[in-house]
Amino acid sequence: METIGHFIDGRRVPGQSGRRAEVFNPATGEAQAEVALASAAEVAAAVERAKAAQPAWAATNPQRRARVLMKFVELLNRDMDRLAEAISREHGKTLPDARGDVQRGLEVAEFCIGAPHLLKGEFTDGAGRGIDMYSMRQPLGVVAGITPFNFPAMIPMWKFCPAIACGNAFILKPSERDPSCPMLLAELMIEAGLPEGILQVVNGDREAVEAILDHPDIAAIGFVGSTPVAQHIYGRAAATGKRVQCFGGAKNHMIVMPDADLDQAVDALVGAGYGAAGERCMAVSVAVPVGEATADALIRKLVPRVESLKIGPYTAGEDVDFGPVISREAKSRILGLIDSGVEAGADLVVDGRGFTMQGYESGFFVGACLFDRVTPEMEIYRQEIFGPVLSTVRAASYEDALELTMRNEFGNGTAIFTRDGATARDFTSRINVGMVGVNVPIPVPLAYHGFGGWKKSGFGDLNQHGPDAFRFYTRTKTVTSRWPSGITEGAAFSIPTME
């Protein structure tokens, strides 16, 4: 069986800790590889090599750094199918969805080609007599990213592309569940011309993460994953003075107003609720129809659509709607939550619990489930299910729907479907959620805007990609310079005011 090690100094190296985890094919339920789990000493060695390589990379002018990313984009396009296959084999998502995973990362690499422009500082000519003032953006040094299983291409690229474009060295700790694609990405960066040591991939679990958190030479950490881990890492890393941004879980509500085009709303709910088996932080997991008539009509239209969703392994062809979930544990957790919803009195109008895939009986498949009459106290509403389960919470009015979404502890994404501009405008202005869609169910901002949730979906003040990424991965230095013509004689004891 293949053992996936780490990627250090431009090449694959075996793990040395003796600890390993199995990597499954979720469609068959079989272990297909093992991944090495790094020890603290292996993390420290990766950091040391990165630290040695970083100053020369920071001194490479930003245009040349950007050219590495330009080449990287070309290589991503060349290898798109190979990368997508590596993702689908370990994650279980369909091939078109896996290509989308690569594409949304590639677009951030494209954005980062603009690094020379994005890194330009500010300059004030004549801030005082003979005085100029300017600011520059400088890299932080060695920075790290800890990423989740659900986007093994996109999220690592969201992290390492801007960090590296800014002149940092990057330690990537990807999810141990689907480590192959991040290793391929690192190889492509080397092929694109990145010097050795600037992108190190350290595979591992909690032990490697703790080592990253404790390492004094890691200046910043970007994390994406579940909320409890995000909150833990945010607190721990911030306490040691590291710069840190952590993005967590979600419970995304989609409000359907009585005036919405219901067919469009149904299309949106089916795609955004069940795509990638619901394993997206921007999946719609709660439908909120406003008014009983809207709710009845919506459920009537949703049921046959959900019942006819095509589930299968990624090898079954491009018309499969979604594949298995990531692991046996995830499957039993999801099934347990569905049972809890039934016990709590919610109406399971489409029951996918008994689903099995012929020929793939040991695969981690969960059939699509649709709940009606879910209430906010139920576990299925309170927890992020991260599976192919859509809950419907009926709201009596627009204000009730707004209030429900505002009260939810998560604030990643939300959407409203309506034909009324004033309602949509009121919603976008008042809602306490980071990413909002108007007749758009998965409002994932493009590479040149920022991605980030509010409340328990995001800890820290800067977003991922967009101009914020260049702020996160650099620190500003402001220089005030005066040349002799502006210098007056004598010591000044009061605070300078540039008078």
Residues annotated as catalytic are 281
Residues in region 406-465 near ligand NAD by CB under 6 A: 412, 453, 457
- The residue from 88, 175, 200, 392 that contacts ligand NAD (CB under 6 A) is 175
| Nearer to ligand NAD (CB atom), residue 91 or residue 137 | 91
β-strands 347-350, 369-372 pairing: antiparallel
Can residue 39 be called a binding residue for ligand NAD (CB under 6 A)? no
Say which residues have a Cβ less than 8 Å from residue 492's Cβ, sequence separation at least 6.
Answer: none
- Placement of tokens 């999946």 in the chain: 283
**CA gap 304, 465 in Å, rounded:** 38
Residues in region 251-290 near ligand NAD by CB under 6 A: 281
Angle at 139 between CA 183 and CA 482, to 5 degrees: 170
**CA gap 324, 28 in Å, rounded:** 9
Binding segment for ligand NAD (CB under 6 A), chosen from 128-136, 140-148, 351-359, 399-407, is: 140-148
| Nearer to ligand NAD (CB atom), residue 202 or residue 257 | 202
- The residue from 181, 224, 348, 374 that contacts ligand NAD (CB under 6 A) is 224
Shortest Cβ distance from residue 269 to ligand NAD (Å)? Answer: 18
- The residue from 90, 176, 187, 372 that contacts ligand NAD (CB under 6 A) is 176
- Cβ atoms within 10 A of the Cβ of 318, count? 8
Can residue 206 be called a binding residue for ligand NAD (CB under 6 A)? yes
| Nearer to ligand NAD (CB atom), residue 89 or residue 251 | 251
Residue 142 vs residues 8, 46, 356, 490: alpha-carbon distances, Å: 14, 10, 47, 43
**CA gap 98, 102 in Å, rounded:** 7
Residue type, 157: M
Shortest Cβ distance from residue 386 to ligand NAD (Å)? Answer: 6
Backbone angles phi, psi at 193, to 5 degrees: 110, 10
**CA gap 42, 47 in Å, rounded:** 9
3 state DSSP class of 89: helix
What are the start-end ranges of the H helices in 308-444?
328-343, 379-382, 398-407, 421-430
Binding segment for ligand NAD (CB under 6 A), chosen from 202-210, 352-360, 375-383, 435-443, is: 202-210
Can residue 168 be called a binding residue for ligand NAD (CB under 6 A)? no
- The residue from 148, 275, 363, 450 that contacts ligand NAD (CB under 6 A) is 148
Can residue 94 be called a binding residue for ligand NAD (CB under 6 A)? no
Residue 318 vs residues 153, 208, 244, 279: alpha-carbon distances, Å: 20, 37, 39, 19
Q: Which two tokens stand for residue 310?
A: 């095509």
- The residue from 58, 86, 190, 229 that contacts ligand NAD (CB under 6 A) is 229
Can residue 147 be called a binding residue for ligand NAD (CB under 6 A)? yes
The site that binds ligand NAD (CB under 6 A) totals a number of residues, namely 26
Residue number with the shortest CB distance to ligand NAD?
225
Can residue 371 be called a binding residue for ligand NAD (CB under 6 A)? no
Q: Please, are residues 234 and 267 in contact by the beta-carbon 8 Å criterion?
A: no
Q: Please, are residues 416 and 430 in contact by the beta-carbon 8 Å criterion?
A: no
Shortest Cβ distance from residue 146 to ligand NAD (Å)? Answer: 5
| Nearer to ligand NAD (CB atom), residue 169 or residue 208 | 208
| Nearer to ligand NAD (CB atom), residue 260 or residue 431 | 431
In the complex, the residues that contact ligand NAD under the rule CB under 6 A are 146-151, 173, 175-176, 205-206, 209, 224-226, 229, 247-250, 281, 384, 386, 412, 453, 457
